[in-house]
Chains A and B, each alone.
Chain A
Amino acid sequence: MTQPANSRPMISLQSVSKRFGNFAAVDSATFDIAPGEFFSLLGPSGCGKTTLLRMIGGFERQSEGDILIDGEPMGIRPPNQRPTNMVFQSYAIFPHLDIAENIAYGLVNRGFDKATISKKVAQALEMVRLGGLGNRRTNQISGGQRQRVALARAIVCEPKVLLLDEPLGALDKKLREEMQIELRQLQKSLGITFIFVTHDQEEALSLSDRIAVMARGQVLQIDTATALYERPNCREVAGFIGNMNFFEGRISSVANGVAAIEIGPGQHVRVAASGSSAPGQVAILAIRPEKIDAAATMPQGNGSISANVIKARALAGSYLGDRSLILAEWREGTAPVSVSLQNRKAQIGAETFAAEAPIWLTWPVEAGVLLNN
């Protein structure tokens, strides 16, 4: 995994598990997070990402393993003795206190005098662009403002790690996009390690330095956004992030670092082989819709080494403005292949391919990804 070299990790998870009876909400998570990293936990609901975050914060006790923060093992330390602060999904703004009192909440525990507290509160309010609203009651501010209060309240405590539990989930789309930018800028300027839980893949891809994709309590892959998208390590990650076509088959030969997979009788596709690829293995070729080219006539140079060609039957097409999406069936009974075509020229895309008409799908060998099952 890409790991910034020669620096102690800010967070180190060492086979951390959380079990409820036989059910593992988090199963033996082991990975490091570097200082100053914007790290996301991404996965569908119930995948264990929030449980993992809450264990780091000390709200859930791990069943096994330990979490090290800045080299210190946390064990079962309560949240108030950890160098972390959390932005809650519901924001958890105290309703019986005003905005300034909310932000000052953690500072009181750190023993600052009143003047320092009010100075820090004012600074924090400025930082999240809520200057002058300190005396407002919590029910007098909007959802976006509540989100900022929650953020300011946590940051003002100067944590080593900021934990964010789907902090943007309750906001509408436009506000969410604004807050994403602000969040990223804030993180850059403060240099604090952020651990960000989300089920929104776009959000995770656009914000994070690295992303851990989780499912069923397992960490499937930890990588940068590009690597996750371009080189998913399993079918689940490939399917969860963006759209992906899968061709299942058996490796028939491996030569010059290229594996040929027999996906149907006499039908082969080629893909860059992995180190362990060997003939006879069950394998999956994964290819993104936008990496496939479609043509209504047999492309020239068919059968060249550098491209895969599959003849299929167009099922349906939809025009999406900037691109067109085409569904094509290459063999009865298999999932249709989806192809995304940029509408660079007029008259391309959906209309070009009449339903039931033959369609040739081509893609370069290096565009596909070989997944072991």
Chain B
Amino acid sequence: MTLQAAPTTTAASLQTARPEWLDGLWLIVPTLLIVVGMMVAPLAGIVLVSFWSQTGFDIQRDWNLDNYRILFTAEGALYRILILKSLWMSLTATIAVVLLAYPMAYFMAFRIERAKLIWIILLTVPFWTSYLLRIFAWKVILGFNGVINSGLKFIGVIDKPLEFLLYNPASVTITLAHAWAAYAVLPIYVSLEKIDRSYLEAATDLGDSKWKRFWRITFPLSLPGTIAATLLVFIPTVGDYITPTLVGGTSGIMIGNSIVTQFGKANNAPLGAALSCVMMLAITLAVCAFLAVIGRKRLKAADI
């Protein structure tokens, strides 16, 4: 008798029971609140502000496209050039970082048998110093009285310091390439390490030479890590402020400096907001273009 009655009661309790994922939702809600409060809302805010305008000390809260008009007409040529220049500097720095990081990651994944961890630690230790000081170290190296100039003068190679070392786009690129090295090596290393060694043996078995094997197996399989590395370095460096400020001089200035100026000295937050939006848009477009190119290449490779 009781057995007959039981299912109906528990069927009711099943219906009233919370779905299991609700417990999981509570666990993640605090984090989502932080993300929404500190990122989604501010980003929405800055998009909003970019449609306002600044006159004197007052912000006009009527919707208008003044800032964007400035940025996309002759008036804003300087800003556009600056954005393109920033993208270009980041791109060169990113290419340099990835090109240098790839062989290093390859070395760690394939040549180091034991003590891989030691190499990982060795690689990351320089990055435990302050980012500021890592950048500053390059000022010390490249500066007017810096290590290179004073060293060369000391041994008599030059008698006047070389001025072209510091305060230009190239010094920014070198500095960025150094500062972001670990961000590139580690993802590439991880994706190389994941490659099943029997794939490589199979490729050799099927007649590939070492180079051919690299381009047909190793490199395509390491693409996820390499793409991640590229994006991890490219995206943040476009908006970098510290590096151009410390080692860029006037010619090595980047869009980040300009945004800071708008929010600071120039006191034109709406224009700064619009600049930020355009910068993000530019980064997004650049990333999409990059992924599209990679995607098409991969497809082509797959067709062969």
The 8 Å CB contact of A76, one of B3, B7, B14, is B14
List A contacts of B3 (CB < 8 A): 12, 14, 68, 71
Given contacts A68-B6, A71-B2, A71-B3, contact A76 B17 (CB under 8 A): yes
Closest to A63 in B: B14
Q: Is the CB of A64 within 8 A of B13?
A: no
Closest to A32 in B: B3
| CA–CA, A306 and B264, complex, Å | 105
User: Is B62 positioned at the interface, with any CB of A under 8 Å from its CB?
Assistant: no
List A contacts of B6 (CB < 8 A): 14, 66, 68, 73
List B contacts of A68 (CB < 8 A): 3, 6
Q: Mark B1-37, 1 if CB is under 8 A from A, else 0.
A: 0110011011101100100100000000000000000
Q: Is the CB of A61 within 8 A of B13?
A: no
Q: Mark B262-284, 1 if CB is under 8 A from A, else 0.
A: 00000000000000000000000
Q: What's the minimum C-beta distance from B96 to chain A, rounded to whole angstroms? A: 44
List A contacts of B11 (CB < 8 A): 64-66
Q: Is the CB of B7 within 8 A of A15?
A: yes
Q: What's the minimum C-beta distance from B11 to chain A, rounded to whole angstroms? A: 7
Q: Is the CB of A76 within 8 A of B13?
A: yes
Q: What's the minimum C-beta distance from A50 to chain B, rounded to whole angstroms? A: 18
Closest to B8 in A: A66
User: Is A245 positioned at the interface, with any CB of B under 8 Å from its CB?
Assistant: no
User: Is A280 positioned at the interface, with any CB of B under 8 Å from its CB?
Assistant: no
Query: Which of B2, B6, B11 is the most central at the interface, judged by chain A CB atoms within 10 Å of its CB?
Result: B6
Given contacts A12-B3, A68-B3, contact A73 B10 (CB under 8 A): yes
Q: What's the minimum C-beta distance from A98 to chain B, rounded to whole angstroms? A: 27
Q: Mark A50-82, 1 if CB is under 8 A from B, else 0.
A: 000000000001101110100101111000000
Q: Is the CB of B2 within 8 A of A75?
A: no
Q: Is the CB of B14 within 8 A of A73?
A: no
The 8 Å CB contact of A62, one of B2, B9, B14, B20, is B14
| CA–CA, A12 and B10, complex, Å | 14
Q: Is the CB of A61 within 8 A of B20?
A: yes
Q: Is the CB of B17 within 8 A of A73?
A: no
| CA–CA, A66 and B7, complex, Å | 6
Closest to B18 in A: A76
Q: Is the CB of B20 within 8 A of A73?
A: no
List A contacts of B14 (CB < 8 A): 61-62, 64, 66, 75-76
Q: What's the minimum C-beta distance from A9 to chain B, rounded to whole angstroms? A: 9
Q: What's the minimum C-beta distance from A226 to chain B, rounded to whole angstroms? A: 29
Q: Mark B42-80, 1 if CB is under 8 A from A, else 0.
A: 000000000000000000000000000000000000000
Q: A66-B11, A75-B13, A76-B14 are in contact. List 9 more A-B contacts (CB 8 A).
A: A12-B3, A14-B7, A15-B7, A61-B20, A64-B11, A68-B3, A71-B2, A75-B14, A76-B10
* 6 closest A-B pairs by CB: A75-B10, A73-B6, A66-B10, A73-B10, A66-B7, A75-B13
Q: Which residues of A contact B (CB under 8 A)?
A: 12, 14-15, 61-62, 64-66, 68, 71, 73-76
A to B CB contacts below 8 Å, 10 in the list: A14-B3, A14-B6, A64-B11, A64-B14, A66-B10, A66-B14, A71-B3, A73-B6, A73-B9, A75-B13
